Amino acid sequence: MQPIKGVKILIVDDEPNIVQFLELGLQNEGFEVFTAPDGFTAVTLAKQARPHIVILDVMMPGMDGFEVCRMLKKTEQVAIIMLTAKEEVEDRVKGLTLGADDYMVKPFSFEELLARIYARLRNQFPHLFAEVAYGPFRIDDRRKEIRYEERVLELSPTEYELLSFLVVNHGLVLSKTVILDKVWGYDFRGEDNIVEVYIRSLRDKLNDKEHRIIRTLRGSGYRVDFG
């Protein structure tokens, strides 16, 4: 992956060895890196530096990672990847409920963390990428254009937003409720069958007659598959 200019990452951890390891590795990847040894410093620094990504340890003295996550998500447009030495489901659920975007259990590989960072950037800051490839799809958010197998799709603005959301989250089952919230907005008051209408239109434009690209999982939602 080519470095992306201007991406800021804040590392929040009270273990100096981990901070030094991540700071050096991320700087070598071309990111602008900030560090904080505790939650209070992290909240203050995030307001000043406005990072795109926060790598946030859960277990810290004083203000723990859960509280930092809650506070940052209320005031900042930021993607949070939480780190923990625990592998308990309750911790993961609590972090995600508070707004965390991803979760990694220590010890972890730097390569996996890097992959997750790029995934969050593509998902939440697509404007940083001139064009991003996802399987047979290429999404150019600056032009609001999507190509499928090198063919430019003629999409309305809402179709573009819906297909982008499905493709970026390929492999994940997305419920109608989630789709309505992310594409139409939380205050949408129309009928939820509008999702079905737009899915049908996208399938027509993709020539997806057998629903092999946009799959319906009855009772659960929709999932984009590339294979």
**Closest to 128 (Cα-Cα) out of 16, 4, 43, 20:** 4
- Domains along the chain? 8-128 (3.40.50.2300), 132-224 (1.10.10.10)
Phi and psi for 106 in degrees, rounded to 5? -75, 145
**Closest to 11 (Cα-Cα) out of 52, 61, 66:** 52
Vertex 121: Cα angle to 77 and 179 (nearest 5): 75
Average pLDDT over residues 85-106: 76
Q: What band does 196 get if pLDDT is binned at 50, 70 and 90?
A: very high
Report helix, strand or coil for 119: helix
- What is the pLDDT at residue 6? 82
| pLDDT of 217 higher than 90 | yes
User: CA–CA separation, 88 vs 85, rounded Å?
Assistant: 9
- What are the tens digits of pLDDT across the range 141-155? 778 899 999 899 999
168 is written with which tokens?
Answer: 């970026």
Report helix, strand or coil for 214: strand
The DSSP 8-state label assigned to residue 3 in this structure reads -
In the chain the first and final C-alpha atoms are separated, in Å, by: 22
Higher pLDDT, 69 or 131: 69
- The pTM assigned to this predicted structure is 0.58
Residue 21's region, left for phi above 0, alpha for psi from -120 to 50, else beta, is alpha
- What is the pLDDT at residue 61? 84
Residues 6+ positions from 33 with CB-CB distance below 8 Å: 8, 9, 10, 11, 22, 23, 26, 27
- What is the pLDDT at residue 188? 66
- What is the pLDDT at residue 154? 96
